[in-house]
Amino acid sequence: MAKTRRASKRAAKKSNKNLLWIALAVVAVLVLGGFALIRLGGQPATASTLPAEISVQEAYKLYQNGTFVLDVRTPEEWNEFHAPNTTLIPLDELPDRVNELPKDREIVVICRSGNRSAVARDILLGAGFKNVTSVDGGLRAWQAAGYPVE
């Protein structure tokens, strides 16, 4: 009986030691993660300072203030109509052409309806751009709102 109690106490001590090491490891991960967030300015590396998606009205305000607008439709769609003073880089070419875009400016990404622009936004965020958003409703909503196209 005494042997059983001693074995049981040893097992409990070993279990407590293991729990202590696990707790220390968890604390270390949390502390290091906190330092990483502080170093990154409190945001994950891919977070945008702009909302993920904005309305066409918000996009037009940014456009009027000189924000860089990137159209990711096809050249055929672009030739049909586009917003003046915007830049065309089709979505399928974007990963190879991100170096053509300004990293120090806000970028509003637009397409026909908003689906491709969301994909393009995520490509840019993944490439290290910080100020990127996409337009909900795209150029269809832009044109329907009466905003300029050529």
Question: Would you kindly state where each structural domain of the chain is located, as residue ranges?
Answer: 1-42, 53-144
Confidence tier at 75 by pLDDT (50, 70, 90): very high
Pick the CATH number of 53-144 from 1.10.1200.10, 3.30.1330.200, 3.40.250.10, 2.60.120.10: 3.40.250.10
Question: How does pLDDT run across 112-142, given as a tens digit for each residue?
Answer: 999 999 999 999 999 999 999 999 999 999 9
pLDDT score at 49: 78
At 18-70, the pLDDT tens digits run 544 454 344 444 433 433 333 333 344 455 678 999 999 999 999 999 999 99
CA-to-CA distance for 19 and 25, rounded, in angstroms? 10
Q: Does 58 qualify as catalytic in the annotation?
A: no
Q: What's the whole-model pTM score? A: 0.69
- Regarding predicted confidence, which is higher, 4 or 131? 131
67 burial type by CB count under 10 A (0-12 exposed, 13-18 middle, 19+ buried) = middle
Provide the pLDDT for residue 140. 96
Instruction: Please identify which of the residues 111, 120, 135, 139 carries the catalytic annotation.
Output: 111
